[in-house]
Amino acid sequence: MIGYGNSMFLATHGILARTASGGGVDPDAQAFITAAAITDPTQQAAINTLVVDLKADGLWTKMKAVYPFVGNTNTSNSYNLKNTSQYQISWAGGVTSSSNGVTFGVNGYGNTGLNPTTALTLNDTHLSFYSRTDGAGGIDIGATAATDVRNLFIAQSYVGNFYADSYSSTSRFTLAVQTKGLLTISRTAANSYKAFKNATQIGTTITSSVGTLPNWNIFLGATNRDGAPTNPTAYSARNQAFASIGTGLTDADVTNLNNRVTTFQTALNRNV
């Protein structure tokens, strides 16, 4: 629990007055701080601010899983901020945690335990992740199927392109974009699928949709293709500092999410 000394730190930084209940540490933030054993006051304050801000923007209810990647260990980085008893990540292969989040090495990935067919709704989905590094190759988050009509993934720079799909092999983004920062894909309807770099839309809105949600747990640092991570050339080697999975986000939601994640990363001195 956050003790008196840490409470003084939070009060000094204007955090206590901004919780959802009007005082004290937000209970959802505290649940995460306790489960993930976050002892650093700066990290505690950043988590509390993130939760309060997501709730203020109406984003909290749209999240199924939020991974802030804070705490400096693989265990602390495995917890889901939205609900610490759900969708805790199981790491495999080369995964390294630090104050900058999670970096995936050779064959490294994380299984979120979140299956889109049970946790998400067709035509109402989003994925996001915050990358601190560029680089070619690798799928960063998602689940796919060999049929290509059960795909939900983001590859920040797969064979040199921003490559993303929302259960449609005929309507995916393949744009020459390499970037650091927050990358988001969002489908809010059968005829509305968008991709964003930070708060700016990438390309044009895709209006066609076919297929169904993938029946595999979403992976981080790779895609779960028919129950296993894809071949080694598709593993991501990037440094992730945030990820989220949930319902579809409007343009305003994406702007708000980018602002809140930027504030969070800045507080931790790891924004790019």
One-letter amino acid identity for 35? A
Q: How confident is the prediction for the chain on average, in pLDDT?
A: 83
Same domain, 135 and 189: yes
Say which CATH number the domain at 236 has.
2.60.120.200
One-letter amino acid identity for 114? L
Same domain, 51 and 148: no
pLDDT confidence tier of residue 110, bands split at 50, 70 and 90: very high
Same domain, 22 and 141: no
Predicted confidence (pLDDT) at residue 236 exceeds the cutoff of 90: no
Task: Count CB atoms within 10 A of the CB of residue 137.
Answer: 17
Long-range Cβ contact pairs of 45-48 (< 8 A, separation 24 or more): 45/9, 45/10, 45/13, 45/15, 45/267, 46/70, 46/264, 46/267, 46/268, 47/81, 48/10, 48/15, 48/19
Task: Tell me the average pLDDT across 19-24.
Answer: 54
196 domain-assigned: yes
d(CA 68, CA 32): 10
pLDDT confidence tier of residue 14, bands split at 50, 70 and 90: very low
pLDDT in tens, 159-182: 556 666 666 655 566 656 667 899
pLDDT in tens, 53-73: 999 999 999 999 999 999 999
d(CA 149, CA 165): 9
32 domain-assigned: yes
Name the token pair of 184: 């988001």
Q: CA-based angle 121:75:4, to the nearest 5?
A: 100
Same domain, 92 and 153: yes
Same domain, 84 and 196: yes
272 domain-assigned: no
d(CA 54, CA 32): 15
User: Up-side HSE of residue 51: CA atoms within 13 Å toward CB?
Assistant: 26
Q: Is 154 left (phi over 0), alpha (psi -120 to 50) or beta?
A: beta
Which pLDDT belongs to residue 178? Answer: 62
Q: Which among 56, 80, 100 is the end of a domain? A: 56
For the chain, how many structural domains are there in total?
A: 2
One-letter amino acid identity for 60? W
Which pLDDT belongs to residue 259? Answer: 98
Same domain, 237 and 131: yes
Which pLDDT belongs to residue 168? Answer: 64
Same domain, 160 and 106: yes
Predicted confidence (pLDDT) at residue 28 exceeds the cutoff of 60: yes
Predicted confidence (pLDDT) at residue 215 exceeds the cutoff of 50: yes
d(CA 122, CA 185): 14
Which pLDDT belongs to residue 166? Answer: 66
Predicted confidence (pLDDT) at residue 269 exceeds the cutoff of 70: yes
d(CA 204, CA 206): 6
Which pLDDT belongs to residue 24? Answer: 80
> For tokens 């690798």, what's the residue?
138
Same domain, 79 and 172: yes
Q: Which helix (H) or strand (E) holds 220?
A: strand 219-220
Same domain, 85 and 194: yes
Same domain, 41 and 173: no
DSSP reduced 3-state for 226: coil
d(CA 14, CA 238): 33
Name the token pair of 82: 């939205």
* Strands 219-220 vs 109-111: parallel, antiparallel or unpaired: antiparallel
129 domain-assigned: yes
pLDDT confidence tier of residue 1, bands split at 50, 70 and 90: very low
152 domain-assigned: yes
pLDDT in tens, 143-161: 887 765 556 665 555 555 6
112: nearest Cα among 68, 140, 80: 80
Predicted confidence (pLDDT) at residue 16 exceeds the cutoff of 50: no
Which pLDDT belongs to residue 161? Answer: 60
Same domain, 206 and 172: yes
245 domain-assigned: yes
pLDDT in tens, 111-137: 999 999 999 998 899 999 998 987 666
Same domain, 172 and 148: yes
238 domain-assigned: yes
- Encode burial over 42-78: b for 16+ CB neighbours within 10 A, e otherwise: ebbbbbbbbbbbbbebebbebbbbbbbbbbbeeebbb
Q: Domain residues for 258? A: 61-267
pLDDT in tens, 131-147: 898 766 677 888 887 76
Which pLDDT belongs to residue 208? Answer: 77
